Amino acid sequence: MYNSVLEAPFVKGYVKMANEGYERGWHERNGGNLSYRIKKEEIESVKALLDFSKEFTPIGATVENLKNEYFLVSGSGKFFGNIKSATEENICIVEVDDTGKNYRIVWGLVAGGRPTSELPAHLMNHSVKLTATNGEHRVIYHAHPVNAIAITFVLPLDSKIITHLLWEMMTECPVIFPQGIGVVEWMVPGGEKIAIASSELMKKFDAILWAHHGVFCSGIDFDLTFGLMDTIEKAAEIYVKVQSMGGIKQSITDDGFRELAKDFGLTLNEDFLN
Protein backbone atom coordinates (compact mmCIF):
# COMPACT_ATOMS: atom_id res chain seq x y z
CA MET A 1 0.00 0.00 0.00
CA TYR A 2 2.90 2.38 0.79
CA ASN A 3 6.41 2.54 -0.64
CA SER A 4 7.81 3.22 2.82
CA VAL A 5 6.56 2.76 6.40
CA LEU A 6 7.30 6.48 6.83
CA GLU A 7 4.32 7.30 4.59
CA ALA A 8 1.80 5.69 6.94
CA PRO A 9 -0.31 8.29 8.82
CA PHE A 10 0.27 6.60 12.21
CA VAL A 11 4.03 7.02 11.75
CA LYS A 12 3.59 10.66 10.74
CA GLY A 13 1.42 11.29 13.81
CA TYR A 14 4.03 9.66 16.05
CA VAL A 15 6.87 11.73 14.58
CA LYS A 16 4.87 14.97 14.91
CA MET A 17 4.17 14.30 18.58
CA ALA A 18 7.76 13.30 19.38
CA ASN A 19 9.05 16.45 17.73
CA GLU A 20 6.55 18.66 19.57
CA GLY A 21 7.72 17.18 22.86
CA TYR A 22 11.32 17.85 21.86
CA GLU A 23 10.51 21.46 20.96
CA ARG A 24 8.89 21.95 24.38
CA GLY A 25 12.21 21.01 26.01
CA TRP A 26 10.87 17.82 27.56
CA HIS A 27 13.49 15.57 25.94
CA GLU A 28 17.07 16.49 26.75
CA ARG A 29 19.47 14.09 25.03
CA ASN A 30 17.71 10.68 25.00
CA GLY A 31 15.27 11.62 27.79
CA GLY A 32 11.76 10.22 27.47
CA ASN A 33 10.17 7.57 25.28
CA LEU A 34 6.95 7.07 23.32
CA SER A 35 4.99 3.99 22.29
CA TYR A 36 1.86 3.47 20.18
CA ARG A 37 -0.21 0.26 19.92
CA ILE A 38 -0.74 -0.07 16.20
CA LYS A 39 -4.27 -0.81 14.88
CA LYS A 40 -4.85 -4.02 12.90
CA GLU A 41 -5.60 -2.18 9.68
CA GLU A 42 -2.55 0.05 10.14
CA ILE A 43 -0.15 -2.87 10.52
CA GLU A 44 -1.77 -4.60 7.54
CA SER A 45 -1.12 -1.48 5.46
CA VAL A 46 2.66 -1.76 6.04
CA LYS A 47 3.09 -5.52 6.54
CA ALA A 48 4.75 -6.07 3.16
CA LEU A 49 7.49 -3.64 4.27
CA LEU A 50 8.32 -5.40 7.56
CA ASP A 51 11.19 -7.83 8.20
CA PHE A 52 10.21 -10.92 10.20
CA SER A 53 13.69 -12.52 10.17
CA LYS A 54 14.95 -11.32 13.58
CA GLU A 55 14.99 -13.45 16.74
CA PHE A 56 12.55 -12.76 19.60
CA THR A 57 14.06 -11.24 22.80
CA PRO A 58 12.59 -11.23 26.35
CA ILE A 59 10.54 -8.11 27.19
CA GLY A 60 11.41 -8.32 30.89
CA ALA A 61 7.70 -8.53 31.74
CA THR A 62 4.74 -10.71 30.78
CA VAL A 63 1.92 -9.00 28.89
CA GLU A 64 -0.39 -11.84 27.87
CA ASN A 65 -3.19 -9.65 26.55
CA LEU A 66 -0.73 -7.94 24.17
CA LYS A 67 0.28 -11.15 22.39
CA ASN A 68 0.69 -10.67 18.63
CA GLU A 69 0.26 -6.87 18.97
CA TYR A 70 2.58 -4.41 17.21
CA PHE A 71 3.98 -1.21 18.73
CA LEU A 72 5.77 1.80 17.34
CA VAL A 73 8.46 2.62 19.94
CA SER A 74 11.39 5.00 20.39
CA GLY A 75 14.89 3.52 20.56
CA SER A 76 16.95 3.32 23.74
CA GLY A 77 19.60 6.04 23.90
CA LYS A 78 18.19 7.71 20.79
CA PHE A 79 17.61 11.46 20.88
CA PHE A 80 14.01 12.73 20.45
CA GLY A 81 15.46 15.72 18.60
CA ASN A 82 16.58 13.38 15.79
CA ILE A 83 13.30 11.48 15.29
CA LYS A 84 11.93 13.93 12.71
CA SER A 85 15.04 14.12 10.51
CA ALA A 86 16.20 10.49 10.87
CA THR A 87 13.07 8.53 11.73
CA GLU A 88 14.18 5.02 10.70
CA GLU A 89 17.38 5.35 12.75
CA ASN A 90 15.62 6.35 15.96
CA ILE A 91 12.32 4.47 16.26
CA CYS A 92 11.14 0.94 15.51
CA ILE A 93 8.10 -1.31 15.16
CA VAL A 94 8.16 -4.28 17.55
CA GLU A 95 6.00 -7.38 17.43
CA VAL A 96 5.03 -9.19 20.66
CA ASP A 97 5.10 -12.99 20.33
CA ASP A 98 2.20 -15.34 21.08
CA THR A 99 3.25 -15.82 24.72
CA GLY A 100 3.37 -12.10 25.60
CA LYS A 101 6.88 -12.57 26.99
CA ASN A 102 9.09 -11.69 24.01
CA TYR A 103 9.37 -9.09 21.27
CA ARG A 104 11.28 -8.63 18.03
CA ILE A 105 12.04 -5.61 15.89
CA VAL A 106 10.33 -5.84 12.51
CA TRP A 107 11.11 -2.34 11.22
CA GLY A 108 13.38 0.62 12.03
CA LEU A 109 16.50 1.22 14.14
CA VAL A 110 18.35 0.69 10.88
CA ALA A 111 21.70 1.77 12.31
CA GLY A 112 21.31 -0.67 15.21
CA GLY A 113 19.92 -0.42 18.73
CA ARG A 114 17.05 -1.70 20.78
CA PRO A 115 13.69 -0.33 21.93
CA THR A 116 13.57 2.01 24.93
CA SER A 117 14.91 0.71 28.25
CA GLU A 118 11.42 1.53 29.58
CA LEU A 119 9.81 -1.08 27.31
CA PRO A 120 8.63 -3.13 30.34
CA ALA A 121 6.88 -0.04 31.79
CA HIS A 122 5.39 0.89 28.40
CA LEU A 123 4.06 -2.58 27.66
CA MET A 124 2.76 -3.19 31.19
CA ASN A 125 0.97 0.17 31.03
CA HIS A 126 -0.48 -0.73 27.61
CA SER A 127 -1.58 -4.07 29.02
CA VAL A 128 -3.41 -2.46 31.94
CA LYS A 129 -4.96 0.25 29.75
CA LEU A 130 -6.14 -2.27 27.13
CA THR A 131 -8.27 -3.86 29.84
CA ALA A 132 -9.23 -0.67 31.70
CA THR A 133 -10.32 1.27 28.60
CA ASN A 134 -11.61 -1.63 26.51
CA GLY A 135 -8.85 -1.07 23.98
CA GLU A 136 -9.44 2.68 23.59
CA HIS A 137 -6.04 3.86 24.86
CA ARG A 138 -3.18 3.32 22.41
CA VAL A 139 -0.48 5.81 23.42
CA ILE A 140 1.95 5.71 26.36
CA TYR A 141 4.24 8.73 26.65
CA HIS A 142 7.13 9.36 29.02
CA ALA A 143 8.77 12.79 29.19
CA HIS A 144 11.05 14.80 31.48
CA PRO A 145 9.22 18.17 31.81
CA VAL A 146 11.07 20.60 34.09
CA ASN A 147 8.31 21.88 36.37
CA ALA A 148 6.57 18.54 36.92
CA ILE A 149 9.92 17.12 38.04
CA ALA A 150 10.72 20.20 40.16
CA ILE A 151 7.57 19.94 42.29
CA THR A 152 8.56 16.39 43.36
CA PHE A 153 11.45 17.93 45.34
CA VAL A 154 9.23 20.14 47.48
CA LEU A 155 5.78 18.56 47.73
CA PRO A 156 4.99 15.40 49.70
CA LEU A 157 5.03 12.43 47.30
CA ASP A 158 1.33 11.89 47.77
CA SER A 159 -1.15 11.47 44.89
CA LYS A 160 -3.92 13.37 46.67
CA ILE A 161 -1.80 16.37 47.68
CA ILE A 162 -0.15 16.74 44.27
CA THR A 163 -3.38 16.20 42.30
CA HIS A 164 -5.30 18.70 44.44
CA LEU A 165 -2.64 21.38 44.04
CA LEU A 166 -2.43 20.86 40.27
CA TRP A 167 -6.23 20.95 39.98
CA GLU A 168 -6.14 24.30 41.79
CA MET A 169 -3.55 25.77 39.40
CA MET A 170 -5.82 25.93 36.37
CA THR A 171 -9.62 25.60 36.20
CA GLU A 172 -9.39 23.22 33.23
CA CYS A 173 -7.15 20.74 35.11
CA PRO A 174 -9.95 18.77 36.80
CA VAL A 175 -11.63 18.59 33.39
CA ILE A 176 -8.48 17.17 31.73
CA PHE A 177 -7.49 14.76 34.53
CA PRO A 178 -10.60 14.20 36.71
CA GLN A 179 -9.19 10.97 38.18
CA GLY A 180 -6.01 12.76 39.23
CA ILE A 181 -2.35 11.84 39.01
CA GLY A 182 -0.66 8.85 40.61
CA VAL A 183 2.73 9.39 42.24
CA VAL A 184 5.54 6.82 42.26
CA GLU A 185 8.35 7.33 44.79
CA TRP A 186 11.90 7.42 43.42
CA MET A 187 12.98 4.10 41.94
CA VAL A 188 15.67 2.87 39.57
CA PRO A 189 14.26 3.37 36.05
CA GLY A 190 14.17 0.80 33.27
CA GLY A 191 13.29 -2.31 35.24
CA GLU A 192 10.35 -4.48 36.11
CA LYS A 193 9.90 -3.00 39.63
CA ILE A 194 9.11 0.53 38.42
CA ALA A 195 7.01 -0.99 35.60
CA ILE A 196 4.88 -2.91 38.11
CA ALA A 197 4.47 0.12 40.42
CA SER A 198 3.44 2.30 37.45
CA SER A 199 1.05 -0.16 35.88
CA GLU A 200 -0.68 -0.67 39.25
CA LEU A 201 -1.40 3.08 39.33
CA MET A 202 -2.33 3.13 35.62
CA LYS A 203 -5.33 0.92 36.50
CA LYS A 204 -6.77 4.07 38.09
CA PHE A 205 -4.97 7.07 36.58
CA ASP A 206 -4.06 8.27 33.07
CA ALA A 207 -0.99 10.09 34.36
CA ILE A 208 1.79 9.03 36.70
CA LEU A 209 4.46 11.27 38.19
CA TRP A 210 7.79 9.55 38.76
CA ALA A 211 9.50 11.38 41.63
CA HIS A 212 12.68 13.26 40.59
CA HIS A 213 12.40 11.77 37.08
CA GLY A 214 9.40 12.58 34.88
CA VAL A 215 5.82 11.84 33.85
CA PHE A 216 4.05 8.92 32.15
CA CYS A 217 0.77 9.63 30.35
CA SER A 218 -1.70 7.30 28.67
CA GLY A 219 -4.26 8.31 26.08
CA ILE A 220 -6.51 7.44 23.16
CA ASP A 221 -4.43 9.16 20.49
CA PHE A 222 -1.31 11.30 20.01
CA ASP A 223 -3.07 14.66 20.48
CA LEU A 224 -4.93 13.71 23.66
CA THR A 225 -1.87 12.12 25.26
CA PHE A 226 0.35 15.07 24.39
CA GLY A 227 -2.37 17.43 25.64
CA LEU A 228 -2.47 15.64 28.99
CA MET A 229 1.32 15.95 29.43
CA ASP A 230 1.16 19.60 28.38
CA THR A 231 -1.63 20.40 30.85
CA ILE A 232 0.16 18.73 33.77
CA GLU A 233 3.42 20.50 32.99
CA LYS A 234 1.68 23.87 32.63
CA ALA A 235 -0.13 23.43 35.97
CA ALA A 236 3.20 22.52 37.60
CA GLU A 237 4.79 25.62 36.05
CA ILE A 238 2.02 27.81 37.47
CA TYR A 239 2.60 26.25 40.88
CA VAL A 240 6.32 27.03 40.67
CA LYS A 241 5.51 30.66 39.74
CA VAL A 242 2.90 30.98 42.52
CA GLN A 243 5.43 29.69 45.06
CA SER A 244 8.05 32.10 43.77
CA MET A 245 5.58 34.99 44.28
CA GLY A 246 5.11 34.06 47.92
CA GLY A 247 2.70 31.14 47.76
CA ILE A 248 -1.05 30.60 47.43
CA LYS A 249 -3.16 33.43 48.96
CA GLN A 250 -6.52 32.34 47.50
CA SER A 251 -7.64 29.40 45.41
CA ILE A 252 -10.50 27.30 44.04
CA THR A 253 -12.51 25.68 46.84
CA ASP A 254 -13.63 22.05 46.92
CA ASP A 255 -17.22 23.25 46.59
CA GLY A 256 -16.04 25.04 43.46
CA PHE A 257 -14.59 21.78 42.12
CA ARG A 258 -17.90 20.00 42.84
CA GLU A 259 -19.84 22.73 41.01
CA LEU A 260 -17.47 22.45 38.06
CA ALA A 261 -17.88 18.68 38.01
CA LYS A 262 -21.65 19.05 37.97
CA ASP A 263 -21.69 21.59 35.13
CA PHE A 264 -19.09 19.73 33.04
CA GLY A 265 -20.58 16.28 33.70
CA LEU A 266 -17.30 15.05 35.25
CA THR A 267 -16.76 12.26 37.71
CA LEU A 268 -14.08 13.87 39.88
CA ASN A 269 -12.09 11.53 42.10
CA GLU A 270 -13.85 12.13 45.45
CA ASP A 271 -10.89 10.59 47.33
CA PHE A 272 -8.88 13.64 46.29
CA LEU A 273 -11.43 16.20 47.56
CA ASN A 274 -11.77 17.28 51.19
Which residues does the annotation mark as catalytic? 118
The answer to whether 239 and 169 have CB atoms below 8 angstroms apart is yes
Nearer to ligand 13P by Cβ, of 31 and 178: the residue is: 31
User: Which of ligand 13P, Zn ion, none sits in contact with 33, Cβ below 5 to 8 A by type?
Assistant: ligand 13P
User: Cα angle vertex 211, ends 209, 212, to 5°?
Assistant: 125
Q: Distance from CA of residue 130 to its chain's centroid?
A: 14
Least separation in angstroms between residue 176's CB and ligand 13P is 23
User: Which of Zn ion, ligand 13P, none sits in contact with 76, Cβ below 5 to 8 A by type?
Assistant: ligand 13P
Handedness of CA 240, 18, 187, 37 (dihedral sign): positive
The pairing of beta strand 182-184 with beta strand 207-210: parallel
Site residues, ligand 13P (CB under 6 A): 30-33, 74, 76-77, 116-118, 142, 189
The residues near 167 (Cβ < 8 Å, ≥ 6 apart) are: 173, 174, 180, 235, 252, 257, 272
The pairing of beta strand 139-143 with beta strand 102-108: unpaired
Nearer to ligand 13P by Cβ, of 117 and 147: the residue is: 117
* Backbone φ and ψ of 191, nearest 5°: -110, -175
Least separation in angstroms between residue 244's CB and ligand 13P is 27
Least separation in angstroms between residue 141's CB and Zn ion is 11
Nearer to ligand 13P by Cβ, of 34 and 96: the residue is: 34
Least separation in angstroms between residue 80's CB and Zn ion is 11
Nearer to ligand 13P by Cβ, of 116 and 125: the residue is: 116
Considering only residues 186-215, where is the footprint of Zn ion by CB under 5 A?
Answer: 214
Interface ranges with Zn ion (CB under 5 A): 214
